[in-house]
Amino acid sequence: MSAGITIYLLLAAMVLLWSGNYIVAKIVLREVPPMLVVALRAVIAGILIFPVYWRRLRRSGEWVSGRDLGQLLVLGFGGIAMNQFCFVVGIGKTSVTHSAIIMATVPLWVLLLATLLGMERVTVSKVSGMAMAICGVLILQAFRAQHAFQSQPSGGSSPTMLGDFFVLLCALLMAGMTIFTKRWKPGESLSVVAVGYTAGAIAFAPVVWWQSLAFPLHAITPAIWAGILYMSALSSVVCYLIYNYALRYIAASRVAATQYMQPLLATMLAVMVLGERLTAPTIAAGGVIIAGVFVTESFE
């Protein structure tokens, strides 16, 4: 199997895991406060990734310099820890469909940043695609106020402006992380993820203790613990390793373009598992956004 096929298979697995993460997060947030979920996810991910990274450092002997460590800490806390904070808080206050559609705009922000930094050139198709996608986001928000998306009481939640805003921040932070990693040392994907999650684990460890005073950890059911482990091990560590590994071989905007598959998969799962319902305006808004991303990525 060629390296190119392997990379795209890994990216497909990443998209599936991240699509499932929307559903798992919704279910976990039914029983556990958002801040505790964020803190547990960060701490568990840091605990899982650090031994792997430490073993690699001992084998290679290539220790991170003080300057690089500072950059990695900024990347880790801003691009990973805060990214996941915004995601959990956002999805707790909006619907799965809105969250997935907004996250599909990541390639647009990556392209914008890459263009501003001289990493990619501007073309008419790229500008047109970005304009289309932004119009789709505006359409989505316009119909949000009119309850264009309705959720069943059993699982979902109606979209709110605050929730959508936090998810948008998540998308922007992920775009920034993508560009930072590509410009820094794209071959050091494990360093990026390991230092980032370790920094997040240290930062959020006190939050776990503080939150557990009001919500004891023993009150979390085994099924919910399984969901938290999914969010920590698979959606966090494994997916970010794949994401950063792919940046070694593929353009940053093209790696980020895998995001446009998430709305479809996440929405299908939300309908089947959470009982969420769709209406034509929401589907139209999502279609405009995906079309914009497609135009941006497909034509030079």
Helix (H), strand (E), coil (C) string for 56-107? HHHHHCCCCCHHHHHHHHHHHHHHHHHHHHHHHHHHCCCCHHHHHHHHCCHH
Helix (H, G, I), strand (E, B), or coil: what is residue 121? Answer: coil
Region 189-203: what's the mean pLDDT?
76
Instruction: Return the DSSP state at 44.
Output: H
Amino acid present at 199: A
Q: How many C-beta neighbours within 10 Å does residue 8 have? A: 14
pLDDT of residue 66: 65
Task: Give me the residue spans of the domains in the chain.
Answer: 3-298
pLDDT tens for each residue of 98-121: 888 888 788 778 878 887 877 777
Assess whether pLDDT exceeds 50 at residue 152.
no
- Banded pLDDT at 61 (limits 50, 70, 90): low
User: What whole-number distance in Å separates Cα of residue 198 and Cα of residue 76?
Assistant: 8
Largest CA-CA distance found in the chain, in angstroms, rounded: 59
pLDDT of residue 151: 41
Region 263-285: what's the mean pLDDT?
80
DSSP string, 159-213: --HHHHHHHHHHHHHHHHHHHHHHHS-TT-HHHHHHHHHHHHHHHHHHHHHHHHH
- Token pair in block for residue 20: 């499932």
- C-alpha dist (Å) from residue 184 to 53, 188, 197, 244, 278: 18, 9, 18, 12, 41
DSSP string, 127-144: HHHHHHHHHHHHHHHHHH
- Banded pLDDT at 249 (limits 50, 70, 90): confident
pLDDT of residue 76: 66
User: Which phi and psi (to 5°) does residue 294 adopt?
Assistant: -60, -45
Assess whether pLDDT exceeds 60 at residue 87.
yes
Contact 295, 125 (CB under 8 A): yes
